[in-house]
Each structure stands twice: as C-alpha cells, then as structure tokens.
Amino acid sequence: MSPWLIVKLVSSKVVSENVKSLIFEVPEWPGHKAGQYCDIRLTSDTGYQAQRSYSIASTPVLGSKFVEFGVKLFDNGEVSPYLWNLAPGDKIEIKGPLGGHFIWSTDMPGPLVLIAGGSGIVPLISMLREYVRYSKNTEREVVLLVSAFSREKIPYYTELEKYKRNFPNIKILYTLTKDTPADWTGFARRVDKAMLAEITSGLLDKMPITYVCGPTGFVEAVANTLVEIGFNPHSIKTERFG
C-alpha cells in the first residue's frame, strides 16, 4: 500500500483555457508507468479532508523526483479550484502511483491509438511523451484524437502541434464539438463511427492497442463504437474521470 507523501509545488502552467499543469517535487517518488494516477488529499485547518484522483502527465524517467498532473478547473468543484490556486512552495499530500490496467510502455508491440475527451488527455500525454522520448521504433504508427469544446480547450495544444511537425508517424487529430473557428480544418462534431474508422484506417490488422480516457459517457460511447468497427474489446483500455 503506497503511503501518503507530502509534496511541494515547484511550478504550474496553464495548458488550455481550463487545464493547468502542476509539477510537484516528490523526494520519495518510486517511479511510475505512463497511464497511472495518484490520489491527492487536501486537509483544511479544521481537519476536514477532500480527496480526488489525478492522472500523471509526466513521462516515466528513471530516478526523477518530479511528478506532473493536469487539472481541469471546475468552478464549483471542491478540489480543482484549490489546486489551480496553489503557488510554488505550497504543499499537498499525494498517494501513488496507482492503477495497473491503464498503462503503456514502449516495449508493448503494435500501433498505439489514443482517444481523449477533454482533460482525458492527461494520462495519454504521458504515453505520447514516453513514446517521443524513448521509442526507437519510429515505424510504430501512433494516432491521437482529442475531442474538446473549442480550440482553446484542447489541453497541451502547443506541445501536440510540435509533435505533429516533428514526428511524421504520429497522427494528431482534433474534433471540436461547440465552437469551431472559421478557418478550422479538423473535425467539427462529436466522435462517431465514421470518424473512428477514418482515423484508424489500415490499423485493424496490425493489432493496435487503444486507450480511451475522459468523462464516463464519452469513454463508453467511444469504446462501444470501436468494437462495432472491428476492434478487439480486449485491446481497448479505458479510464473514466467520472
């Protein structure tokens, strides 16, 4: 059982209109695998405690003592506004890494398909960063689809665009479901069968491994549709943010 660790915020950065990246120094960090999460616990002066789970955004780096999360702001939420307001030096408690099912590493074979609903990209960016940092298999096909309300709400957009320019075997696609700019060339609708078939075309026979993360309804709809178009249900891994 992992113990609760007291950790210090070292830096934070807004990575989309409603997602903030927070990097903590964790001296006792045992290391993690891409896709895992931590529990975060806040304790008030009166002793009241609130606890939520947050996926790890950072790449697993041997010996690293820094752990990054990506937190979506819920204005009326209990924990996320508090995390958004932390300043460097502030301390919170975390427990982890947790979760052993929704994980990926470069030694796993086959094409990698990543499908995110909004902040559901957080564990997937850890996988993508791991791929970019360590993979010697530049032949591996990688597809990432991010669904967001608007361009400004696509987390890590700048970083994703950089990967798009520098790694021809990584296909990065977006779909906007509410506000679409006039010059938008990506998808502009909710994820559907035709979209999933188009972005994964040619991959089915190569035994891809697929990770779907986001709100429960999104994850279930996407996973069911992938099965409808022929994906092996055992090759689809899901993480629901609730």
Rule CB under 6 A: which residues touch ligand FAD? 37, 52-55, 70-72, 74, 76-80, 119, 122, 239, 241-242
CA angle 144, 148, 152 (to 5 degrees): 105
Contact yes or no for 239/102 (Cβ under 8 A): yes
d(CA 136, CA 114): 19
User: Least CB distance from residue 165 to ligand FAD, whole Å?
Assistant: 26
For 182, the token pair is 């006039």
CB of 53 to ligand FAD, least distance (A): 4
| Minimum separation from the CB atom of position 201 to ligand FAD (A) | 29
Nearest residue (beta carbon) to ligand FAD: 77
In the bound state with ligand FAD, the residue whose beta carbon lies nearer, of 114 and 195, is 114
3-state secondary structure 52-102: EEEEECCCCCCCCCEEEEEEECCCCCCCHHHHHCCCCCCEEEEEEEECCCC
* In the complex, least distance from residue 198 CB atom to ligand FAD, rounded to whole angstroms: 27
| Interatomic CA distance for residues 208 and 218, integer angstroms | 20
Determine how many CB atoms are found less than 10 A away from the CB of residue 238. 18
The encoded tokens of residue 230 equal: 């022929």
CB closer to ligand FAD out of 71 and 203: 71
Dist CA 48 CA 120 (whole Å):
28
Q: Could you give the CA distance from residue 16 to residue 70 in angstroms, rounded to a whole number?
A: 10
- Closest contact distance (angstroms) between CB of 34 and ligand FAD is 13
Q: In terms of CB distance, is 36 or 200 closer to ligand FAD?
A: 36
Q: In terms of CB distance, is 119 or 225 closer to ligand FAD?
A: 119
Nearer to ligand FAD (CB atom), residue 8 or residue 41:
41
- Beta carbon nearer to ligand FAD, 54 or 174: 54
Q: Considering the complex, what minimum distance in angstroms separates the CB of residue 180 from ligand FAD?
A: 24
